[in-house]
Structure 1
Amino acid sequence: MGLDYPNLDEATRASMTDEVQFDIANGSLYLSTRLNPQGTREWPDLLLSAVETGNDDSLAAEVVSRELLKSHEESQRNGRPYTKKVPSTAAVTLAEGEFNRFYLRGIAARAVEEGREVEIYRGRESASPRAESQELVGNRLAGADLLNDLRSNVGVDSALKLPPGPNSGLTGKLV
Structure 2
Amino acid sequence: MFNFENLDQKTRQYMLIEVEEAIKNSQLNHSKRFNEQGIQRYSQLLLEAVRNGNEQTLATALQEQECFNSHEKQGAVTRKVPTNAPLTFAEGEFNNFYMRGVCHRAFGEGHMVEIYRAKAASTPRSVSKLIEGNLEDPRRVLLLIKNSLDGSNRGSGMPTGSNSGLSIRLTAVPVQK
Q: Same fold (TM over 0.5)?
A: yes
Among 100, 113, 119, the residue aligned to 1:118: 113
Deviation at 1:156, TM superposition (A): 3.7
Aligned partner letter, 1:142: D
Please tell me whether residue 169 in structure 1 is matched to residue 165 in structure 2.
Answer: yes
RMSD: 1.2
Question: What is the aligned partner in structure 2 of residue 152 from structure 1?
Answer: 147
Partners of 1:97 and 1:163 within 8 A in 2: no
1:164 partner letter: T
Alpha-carbon contact 2:115-2:166 (below 8 Å) kept:
yes
Task: Output the TM-score relative to the length of structure 1.
Answer: 0.93
Distance 2:161 2:123 in 1: 15
Secondary structure of 2:72 counterpart = strand
Q: Distance in 2 between matches of 1:112 and 1:168?
A: 24
The letter for the 1-side match of 2:84 is T
Are the counterparts in 2 of residues 100 and 163 from structure 1 also a CA contact under 8 Å?
no
Paired position in structure 1 for 2:88? 93
2:93–2:162: 8 Å Cα contact kept in structure 1?
A: no
Cα deviation, residue 159, structure 1: 2.3
Aligned-residue offset at 1:18? 0.5
Instruction: Report the counterpart of residue 175 of structure 2 in structure 1.
Output: none
**Cα contact 2:145–2:151 (8 A) shared by 1:** no
| Equivalences, count | 170
Residue type of the alignment partner of 1:36: N
Aligned to 2:14: 15
Matches within 5 A, 1:22-171: 22-76=21-75, 81-161=76-156, 162-171=158-167
- d(CA) in 1 for partners of 2:72, 2:123: 28
CA contact (8 A) 2:152 2:161 kept: yes
- Provide the secondary structure at the position in 2 that maps to 1:31: coil
Kindly provide the amino acid, as one letter, of the partner of residue 41 in structure 1: Q
Contact 2:128 2:159 in 1 (8 A): no
CA contact (8 A) 2:11 2:98 kept: yes
Q: Residues 94-147 of structure 1, C-alpha deviation per residue, up to 9 Å, x if partnerless?
A: 000000000000001111111011101111211111111111100111010011
Instruction: Name the SS for the 1:126 alignment partner.
Output: coil
Give the fraction of aligned pairs with identical amino acids, expressed as a percent. Answer: 39
The list of structure 1 runs, each at least 4 consecutive aligned residues, that deviate by more than 4 angstroms after superposition, is none
3-state SS of paired residue (1:28): coil
Deviates more, 1:154-163 or 1:65-74: 154-163
